[in-house]
Amino acid sequence: MPNIASVLKDEIARLARKELRAETVNLQKAASTARSEIASLKRRVAELEKALKAVQKSSTKAAAKAAAAAPESETDDSAHRFRASGLANNRARLGLSAADFGLLVGTTGQSIYAWELGRSKPRAKNLVAIAALRGLGKREVAAKLAALKEAAAETPADKPVRRRRQATD
């Protein structure tokens, strides 16, 4: 005849295994569901990355085509960046006074000083002219400046002529 303690111990172990099996089945189902969701998310991420690469590739091709088709004297403000220190460095590199640089850009020397100090920013048309001067050397700039000064000397002054009143006796 079995001992009551051993029978009781066996029954407790059986009930514990039964409870654990019920709990582990639920956990296994949850883990399986989570693994399948993770796998589907990984597939979706891979598809989105592939689509993103395709869009980036097509946008770079489109940008290259647009850049090739666009004229060099583009007046778009976003096409040219402006830094006051860059303008000062470029003017110093070319060895130009603010007035001469302003003549090349189409503005005054005071505007050039204000741009260099960061008090104001150039307009889009001036940004295009500044960008055009970036790639030129001292000789080319000197030739351009001489041509502008010559053209300015040929055109009549815009100042009104003041005439004296003749005294009537």
Q: What percent of the chain has pLDDT over 90?
A: 28
CA 89 to each of CA 76, 85, 131: distance values in angstroms, whole numbers, following the listed order: 23, 6, 13
Q: Which tens digits make up the pLDDT trace of 62-121? A: 777 766 665 554 444 457 778 888 888 988 998 999 888 898 888 898 999 899 898 888
Query: What is the C-alpha to C-alpha distance for residues 28 and 33, in angstroms, rounded to an integer?
Result: 9
Q: Which string of DSSP letters, residue by residue, matches 57-120?
A: HHHHHHHHHHHHHS-SS---GGGS---HHHHHHHHHHHT--HHHHHHHHTS-HHHHHHHHHTSS
pLDDT tens digits, residue range 38-70? 999 999 999 999 999 988 888 887 777 766 665
pLDDT given for residue 149 in this prediction: 84
Whether the Cβ atoms of residue 80 and residue 131 lie closer than 8 Å to each other? yes
Backbone phi and psi for residue 158, each to the nearest 5 degrees, phi listed first: -90, 0
Q: Using 50, 70 and 90 to split pLDDT, how confident is the model at 164?
A: low
What mean pLDDT value characterizes the chain?
83
